[in-house]
Amino acid sequence: MIFQTKRLTVRKLSMADLDLFHKMQNDQAVMRYIGGKTYSLEENKTDLKNILKFYKNPKNDFWVWAITFTETKEFLGTIALVKNEKEEYEIGYRLLKDYWKRGLGKEVTNGLIKYAFEVKKIKEIVAYVDKNNVTSVRILDSTFNFIKEFYNEQDNCIDRYYKLSN
């Protein structure tokens, strides 16, 4: 276990998560604001294997974990804390569509913020979100400091940029 919230447990991913990981990564609605591309089972299998390799590196700065319900252990999605190309610690999450609109995104985001600051001792975390992703914008607006909007050429959208300092 990495951390827990009221309803959720965040843990390392495993190959046993492949079916639901693939269901999430192959869902157009889930991937809509993350570049819009869905991935095949083979691509997701490779991606999951690569994520698992990062767990073995003690100096890892690329963490992607599974989000599960604490009681049922049911896989709901993933949450990430990664050092991006700008050397910022960036957070992000994805939930299977079946679990949207239940307050889980806000709950797991708040848990990750606490974990990043208290356990990892990170001084500042950032988040980027497509401004049309209104649910994630609402979560970030309530928790982070909004910095600016800018055109994201790679994803062809307007992103909002947020920071939060410990």
Q: What is the mean pLDDT of residues 25-40?
A: 92
The domain segmentation of the chain, as residue ranges, is: 3-165
pTM of the model: 0.94
Asked if the 3-165 domain carries CATH number 1.10.3720.10, the reply is no
14 three-state secondary structure: coil
Convert the pLDDT of each residue in 95-142 to its tens digit. Answer: 999 999 999 999 999 999 999 999 999 999 999 999 999 999 999 999
Mean pLDDT of the chain: 96
Separation CA 120–CA 143 (nearest Å): 19
- Helix H segments across the chain? 18-25, 28-31, 41-54, 104-118, 134-143
> What confidence score (pLDDT) does residue 9 get?
98
**Pairing of the two strands 75-83 and 89-95:** antiparallel
Residue 59 reports pLDDT greater than 90: no
The answer for 74, left when phi > 0, alpha when psi is -120 to 50, beta otherwise, is: beta
Q: Which residue has tokens 């300092």?
A: 165
